[in-house]
Amino acid sequence: MPALGEVLKKFNPWHKEEEPLPPPFTASTAYLLLALYALIYFIPFYLSPTTRPSPTLSRDAPSVIRARIRSVSLSCAICTLTTSLILSRYASLSASAIFHLLGVYPLALIPAVKILFLTGLLFLGPLYSYFIVEKGYKQWSTLLPLRETLTEWTDYRNYIAGPITEEILFRSSSLPLLLLSQAPLSSTLFLSPLIFGLSHIHHFYEFRLTHPAVPVSASLLRSVFQLGYTTLFGSYANFLYLRTGSLLGVCAVHAFCNCMGLPQVWGRVTDENGDKKINRLWTVGYYVLLVAGAWSWYRNLWGMSESVETGLVGADQW
């Protein structure tokens, strides 16, 4: 039942509903800023001989990785500062409100753990294959994967530096601008990730440099496929970030997905030696868990991603 005061207001001839303030800038302006952020992120790769790939210098060379990590760290700092200044100048937000929109404070540790577990449900089959069929538990018993991540530059880039810097740029620095511009939630979820996906297109050029023997059509198909799954992941990461307001959570999910790769969806699973002639029950178990995990993820998507305290978008806006 509506409050008595609200009912009486309707009979008050002098009462006027307060109109919401217009956004300080349009959604188009916000998207232009997002595109600019993407350019600031990867254009410097090609401005210096230390980061620019060539037929004799791979993007996986340790010197290139180190230089690129320094470059993207600076880019993220610039974009984060720019977003913070915009939020302060055009929205007159306090420091705590800005940190909240940037996903930095509160830390939202529990929501971060929940969405990491939620994402793990999608990889229930691959986790079973790795730990049980391939006996990956032997490696983790000695913390070998963790030591490799911290000592091998390609692993460090793929599982730590890459996820953190990309989430800072495409989630923490970007989504607050779309919220401030009052862009439709649907376009925030599904259109802005296209910029995230397109920012990986430069890999086509790098792949052509280091793999000239591969046909152009195959290289192009590879890039289109990469565009598809990076854009899809971007939408998922946007959803999680808006639901939880946790930069830590989306960084952890991004690193986990990079580690797992795309799930196997056909063929037999193999053991630690790559032997396909193992018990068929292993393969049956894999696909049963893959489907069961996907179903569990779907059933728990809204519940396990909800965070009333730290989420950036209220339940009434979904």
* Residues with catalytic function: 166, 200
Cα angle, residue 121 at apex, residues 115 and 127 outer, rounded to 5°: 120
Name all contacts of 210-218 with Cβ < 8 Å and 24+ positions apart.
210/53, 210/55, 210/58, 210/59, 212/55
- The C-alpha R_g of the chain, in whole angstroms, comes to 23
Helix (H) or strand (E) holding 179: helix 175-180
Which residue is it, tokens 């940190």? 99
Helices and strands in the chain, H and E counts: 17, 0
Residue 96 CB contacts under 8 Å (≥ 6 apart), including other chains? 105
Asked if residue 175 lies in contact with residue 313, where contact means CB atoms within 8 angstroms, the answer is no
Q: How far apart are the first and last CA of the chain?
A: 24
